[in-house]
């Protein structure tokens, strides 16, 4: 039963990932990514990591992907245009991907034990995760949160109006000219 469910969710996950690449409209690709995220949550549940599964759905499938779709809707992005098949991509890309996947599979099969682990033996319930995050690995956890805070502040600085942050003198002359053009609203 466990194996059947694993193959089921894994199959959906891979199918979603392939569909993501094959679809030409960005909304369809984004939705395929949602399917990938949700089926990954299913796999986490099978490992007994119910907290991680719930967070995966809430954060990735429920929040981040909604933002993706929101952006696609807002920009009204059109269908992707397929360029002609690049010869370099076929010559180098396909063997490269094949070698990389073989390498990954080989390393994983070689270095992971094939022994059984009882369900719920691994940390997965909220209590265990809290113990790990707030006790055993408190310092790395807090530092990560500060890193994220810095990233947020960077995003705010980048997104805010340029005249209040960056002085025009700091910009390159061409860029400055372009900025003046935009600011004055003139056309070329």
Q: Footprint of other proteins on this chain (CB under 8 A)?
A: 27, 31, 34, 38, 50-51, 54-55, 57-58, 61-63, 66-67, 69-70, 73-74, 125-126
Residue 25 C-beta: closest distance to other proteins, Å: 8
Residue 117 exposed, middle or buried by CB count within 10 Å (0-12, 13-18, 19+): exposed
**36 vs 3: CA distance, rounded Å:** 19
Residues whose CB is less than 8 angstroms from the CB of residue 56 and which lie 6 or more positions away in sequence, other chains included: 37, 40, 41, 44
Residue 4 C-beta: closest distance to other proteins, Å: 15
Residues whose CB is less than 8 angstroms from the CB of residue 46 and which lie 6 or more positions away in sequence, other chains included: 2, 5, 6, 9
**Residue 108 or 159 having the CB closest to other proteins:** 159
Residue 47 C-beta: closest distance to other proteins, Å: 14
Sign of CA dihedral 8, 9, 14, 20: positive
Query: Encoding tokens for residue 32?
Result: 């395929």
**Residue 161 or 167 having the CB closest to other proteins:** 161
Residue 17 C-beta: closest distance to other proteins, Å: 19
**Residue 63 or 138 having the CB closest to other proteins:** 63
Residues whose CB is less than 8 angstroms from the CB of residue 45 and which lie 6 or more positions away in sequence, other chains included: 53
Residue 66 C-beta: closest distance to other proteins, Å: 5
**Residue 17 or 54 having the CB closest to other proteins:** 54
**Residue 63 or 143 having the CB closest to other proteins:** 63
């Amino acid at each position: 039963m466990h194996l059947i469910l694993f193959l089921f969710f894994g199959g959906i996950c891979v199918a979603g990932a392939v569909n993501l690449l094959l679809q030409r409209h960005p909304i369809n690709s984004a939705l395929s990514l949602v399917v990938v995220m949700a089926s990954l949550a299913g796999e986490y549940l099978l490992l007994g990591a119910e907290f991680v599964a719930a967070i995966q759905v809430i954060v990735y499938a429920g929040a981040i992907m909604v933002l993706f779709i929101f952006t696609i809707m807002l920009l009204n992005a059109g269908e992707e245009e397929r360029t002609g098949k690049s010869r370099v991509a076929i010559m180098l890309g396909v063997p490269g991907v094949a070698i990389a996947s073989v390498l990954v599979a080989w390393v994983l099969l070689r270095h992971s034990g094939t022994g059984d682990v009882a369900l719920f033996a691994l940390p997965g319930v909220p209590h265990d995760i809290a113990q790990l995050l707030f006790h055993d690995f408190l310092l790395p956890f807090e530092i990560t949160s500060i890193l994220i805070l810095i990233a947020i502040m960077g995003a705010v600085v980048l997104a805010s109006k340029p005249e209040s942050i960056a002085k025009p003198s700091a910009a390159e002359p061409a860029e400055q000219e372009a900025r003046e053009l935009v600011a004055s609203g003139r056309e070329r």
